[in-house]
Amino acid sequence: MQESPFLDRNMEFIENIKKIPVLEPFNDEELERLIEMSKIKRYRPGECIVKEGQSDTWLYFLMYGQVRIVKNGKDVAILKRRGDIFGEMGAIDSGRRSASAFAIQDTVCLATDIFYIEKLTGNEKLAFGYVLYRLIAEILARRLRQTTEALIKAKGRLNLKFW
C-alpha cells in the first residue's frame, strides 16, 4: 500500500471529487474539511485494505479500481463504482471491523479519518458532521433494505415462518 500524507486544500482535487455523486451534498468548505482529514491510499491486487476484527476510524471512498468485501471468509460484495463507500460501520462506532476489504485490481481510495471530526468546533462541526453522517445513514439504510430482501427470499426458499 502506498499512502499520501494528509491532503491540503487543493482546488483541483476538490473539483475532481465534486464529480463523485455520493459527495454532491458537501459544499466547497465541507469538501475542504473532508480533504484535510483524508489521505490517498493506493493498493495492488490482493492487498488487504481493512481487516475483519481490527479497529480503526477510517472511512473509504473508492476513487477507482475494485474492492472485494469478505465476511468470515465468504464474499459479500464487490465495489466498483467511483464513490462507493466502505468502512463506514467501524468509522461510526470505532468498533472492530465486521468484514475485510481487498483490492481486486489496482485500486485508489480517498481514506478519511473520522476521528478528526472531533477536532472541529461549533457550527462547523455540526454542519460537517450532519452532512457526513446523513450520507452514511443513507448508505446503511440502502444496505439494510438489500439485506432484508435477501433474508426474506432465503426464508421463503427454506419455508420458514416470520416472527
Q: What is the CATH number of the domain that holds 62?
A: 2.60.120.10
Q: How many domains does the chain have?
A: 1
Q: What is the pLDDT of residue 31?
A: 86
In a domain, 65, yes or no: yes
In a domain, 16, yes or no: yes
In a domain, 100, yes or no: yes
In a domain, 26, yes or no: yes
In a domain, 98, yes or no: yes
In a domain, 163, yes or no: no
pLDDT (tens digit per residue) in 31-63 = 888 888 899 999 999 999 999 999 988 999 999
Q: What is the pLDDT of residue 161?
A: 62
CA distance 68 to 80: 9
pLDDT (tens digit per residue) in 67-81 = 999 999 999 999 999
Which domain covers residue 56, as residue numbers? 2-158
> Could you tell me which residue, 81 or 163, shows the higher pLDDT?
81
- Alpha helices, DSSP H, located in the chain: 11-18, 28-36, 88-93, 122-158
